[in-house]
Amino acid sequence: MVRTVDPVGHGSNVAAGGGPAIDRRELFRGGATLVAGAALAACAAHDELRAAAAQPASPPAPGAPATAASGDDLIEATFAELQARMAAGRETAKSLVARYRQRIAALDQQGPALRAVLEVNPDADAIAAGLDAERAAGKLRGPLHGIPILVKDNVDTGDQMTTTCGSLALEGSRAAADAFVVARLRAAGAIILGKTNLSEWANFRGMSSSSGWSGRGGQCRNPYALDRTPSGSSSGSGVATAASLCAAAIGSETDGSIVSPSSVNGLVGVKPTIGLVSRAGVIPLSASQDTLGPMARTVTDAAVLLTAIAGPDPADPVTTAPHKARPRAAEDYTRYLTPKALAGARLGVPRKGFFGIQRSIDGLMTTALAKLKDLGAVLVDPVELSPDPEAGPAELEVLVTELKVYLDRYLATRKDARVHSVAEAVAFNRQHADRELAGFGQEYFEQATTRTGLDDKAYVAARATCIKIGQLLDHAMAEHKLDAFVAATNSPAWLIDPVNGDGGGGVSCSTLPAVSGYPHVTVPGGHYRGLPVGLSFFGAPFTEGKLLGFAFAYEQATKLRRAPRYLPTAELT
C-alpha cells in the first residue's frame, strides 16, 4: 500500500494493484507504518515538552521483571481471580488499591517510566474501605465489586480528580458530575483508581502528532518495546492494562482509538455500536462516531465491563433511539462466551486493501484463518469491501465540523476551565506554544473554528457519504449471509518519532466499523518480533455478544496473550 497525501495533508491509502482502500489516518492511532530511526533518546527529547514533569528513571535491563514490591502476583490477574482472593480473605479492595498503586509507582513513574497514568484517585482508599464493609456484611454488587479500574482522561469524574483530555488548557479543572459510564461502574462496585494518559484531545488537534503524547502526561510508551508507540488515542488505558497497573480500563474511540492500542498492547478491546454506551460526560469529538468501551486482558473481563457500562441514557438520545436490533433488555454479555461459538459461523475475509501490504500481517493472518477454520468457522474468502474513495475526506469533514459543535457545547459547561470553546483552546495553545505546540500543531482545531454548524452543505454531503459505509457492510453481509467480518486489526507498533510524528499507511480495519457506527472487537492474534498484533471481528449493529463469542472461542483455542517484558526495543534478531 502506498501512502499519498491529499491537499489538507491527510493520509490516504491505495491498495496494491490500484484497488481503493478506506483511508486510515494517523489522526486517531497514528497510522500503521513502522517509522524508522527513532528510539528512546528521541522519545526522551520529546518528553521535554511535557509540563512540570520529572525526568523518568532509566529503563530496566532487557527483560527485567517487575520488583516484588510492585505486585508480581497482580500480573495478568483476572476479575474472577481477584474476586476469589477477596472472598478467601487473602486480599481486600483496599489492599488491591494499595498494591496497584505500588505497581504504578514502580513501572509508570519509575523503572520503564510508561507514563500511562496521569493521576490516581485520592478517594480510592475510602471507596475501597466502604466496599470491603459491604462485603463483610454479605452485600456483593457483582463481578466488579472492589475491582480497581482506570478510565481515560476524557471521561468526567465528579470527584477530586481532574478531566483534561491531556491538555494544559484544562489542567486543574474538575467536572461537576460523573459521566454516565463512570456512575454505572461505581454502581457495579468498581473502584475508579485513576485517570490515564492519552493522545491529547483524542489525537484530533493537529497533524504529525505522536500517539500517546499529551501536554499533561508526556509520551506514553509501549511496554513490549519502550521505543515503540502505545498507539492511541486510548494510549494510557492500553498500556496500563497490559502492564497490570489496573484490573482493566475504559477507553474511547472515534476511529481506532480503542482497537488500535488494544492490538499493539496485546489486549481485548471492544468498540461498541454507536448507541449502546452513553457518551454523556465525555469530552466529545464526534457525535456520529464517538463511543466508550472496555480494554481488558481477557474476553471475559471485557464482557463483564461491557455489561456494566451498556444501557440507555436520556442524556444521550442515541442510546434510546429505536433500532430493530437493539436489545430489549439489559444484556449479560458473558452468556455469549463459549469455546464453540465459531462453529458454523460465516466470516467474511476482505483481502483488497488488507493483504499484500505487510508480510508480517499476511503471515499472521494466514495462521489465524487456518485456526478459525479448525474451530468450525466457514470462511467466505474473499469478500469485496471497496468503499467510496471520497469516504476518507468525508470522514475528516464530519469530524472537523462535529468537533466545533460538540466540543464548544461541552467546554461551555466547564466553568472552572481556562478555555470554553475550540477558538479559546487554539488561542491558549498559541500562548503556551513552548509547552503545547513544540512537537506538532493544531491544524484540525484551527479548521474547526471556521465551521458554521451541522446544516453546512459540505457537512451534510460528507455525512451522507459516510453513511454509505454502513450500507456497504450491510450489503456484503446480506449477499454472503455473513455473521461478521474478520481482519487484522492493524500493523505492529511503529517507532515513536517526535520529529516526524506518526507514520501513515500499513494495515488497519478500524475505519469501516468506526464510520458506520458498527461494533468491533479485537483479540490477541499473534506476535511479530515480540510485538502484539490483534485479530478483529466486526459486524452488524448490536451484535457485540456474537462478536465477543467469536473472540472468546479464538482466545481459548490460541492463548496468544503474553505479559510485557519492558524491552528497550523489539526483538530484531
Q: Annotated catalytic sites, by residue?
A: 152, 233, 257
Query: Among residues 428, 500, 511, 425, which one has the least CA distance to residue 465?
Result: 511
Q: Look up cell 487554539; give the residue.
A: 426
Calculate ∠ Cα 188-193-198, nearest 5°. 110
Residues 6+ apart with CB under 8 A from 119: 161, 162, 194, 195
Question: Is the Cα torsion angle 480, 484, 485, 486 positive or negative in sign?
Answer: negative
Residues 6+ apart with CB under 8 A from 451: 400, 401, 404, 405, 459
CA distance 560 to 298: 11
SS in 3 state form for 19-78? CECCCCCCCCCCCCCCCCCCCHHHHHHHHHHCCCCCCCCCCCCCCCCCCHHHCHHHCCCC
Query: Among residues 249, 234, 263, 235, which one has the least CA distance to residue 194?
Result: 249
In DSSP notation, 222-235 reads -TTSTTB---SSSH
DSSP, collapsed to helix, strand or coil, labels residue 282 as: strand
Contact 229, 200 (CB under 8 A): no
Cell of 384: 469485496
Query: Among residues 443, 440, 428, 496, which one has the least CA distance to residue 212?
Result: 496
Cell of 318: 442515541
259: which DSSP letter? H
273: which DSSP letter? P
The continuous run of DSSP H or E covering 291 comes out as strand 291-296
Contact 517, 497 (CB under 8 A): no
CA 57 to chain centre: 27
Task: Tell me what percent of the chain is helix, strand and coil, each rounded to the nearest 5.
Answer: 35, 15, 50
CA distance 287 to 409: 12
Contact 57, 520 (CB under 8 A): no
CA distance 310 to 561: 26
Query: Among residues 281, 277, 304, 302, which one has the least CA distance to residue 291?
Result: 277
Question: Backbone phi, then psi, for 350, in 5-degree steps?
Answer: -75, 130
Cell of 352: 483488497
Beta bridge partners of 218: 214
Q: Look up cell 493472518; give the residue.
A: 365
DSSP, collapsed to helix, strand or coil, labels residue 145 as: coil
E strands, 335-397, where? 346-350, 378-383
CA 364 to chain centre: 22
